[in-house]
Amino acid sequence: MNPEDPLAGLNPLREPVMISWWPPAPGWWALLLLVLLVVAFIIVVLRRRYRRNAYRREALKQLQNLHQDYQSGGDVPRYLAGVNALLKSVALQAYPRSEVASRSGATWLQIINRDLPETERLGAEFNDAVYRDTTENLDVTRLLPAARHWIRHHKVTL
């Protein structure tokens, strides 16, 4: 040890122990719990929506089958009756029975048209074709997109 250099006798500095990342602070636990609750809530909401809309998915499959049968056979009255019955069954799932079950003609058409955009609304020729079997004024090509749009986007009021 050198008396002229008093610092020479000091031991080297010890580095502190690294701070561990585990266990996390209580705030991180709270954040994790909050995130898990939000994810669980989103999953529950999405499952409920999926189950609630099962009738829509089934109706869209049936509509596609009706359209394929129409394309292969060309039977317009049968196609119209099938689409009308399908729309009625979907409406019975979405609206109170008392509002839908007894409707026909213009009142039934109003129920369908209130959820359709202006460009896809069905006219009186749809009623004539379904209830009076007069298909000469009906543009059958408009029926599939209108029915598909209504099944996907009608507002449920149950």
In-domain check, residue 113: yes
Phi and psi, residue 144, nearest 5°: -60, -50
Counting every residue written for the chain, the total comes to: 158
In-domain check, residue 84: yes
Distance CA 60, CA 53 (A): 11
Domain count, the chain: 1
**Tens-digit pLDDT profile for residues 62-101:** 999 999 999 998 888 899 999 999 999 999 999 999 988 8
Cα angle for residues 33, 38, 39 (degrees, 5° grid):
100
In-domain check, residue 66: yes
In-domain check, residue 21: no
In-domain check, residue 143: yes
The structure tokens listed for 12 are 């080297």
In-domain check, residue 9: no
Domain that holds residue 121: 53-153
Read off the pLDDT band of 8 (50, 70, 90): confident
pLDDT score of 2? 67
Prediction pTM value: 0.78
Reduced DSSP (H G I as helix, E B as strand, rest coil) percent helix, strand, coil of the chain, to 5:
70, 0, 30
In-domain check, residue 93: yes
Q: Compute how many other C-beta atoms are within 10 angstroms of the C-beta atom of residue 35.
A: 10
**Tens-digit pLDDT profile for residues 20-40:** 888 899 999 999 999 999 999
Percent of the chain, pLDDT > 70? 97
Distance CA 54, CA 121 (A): 25
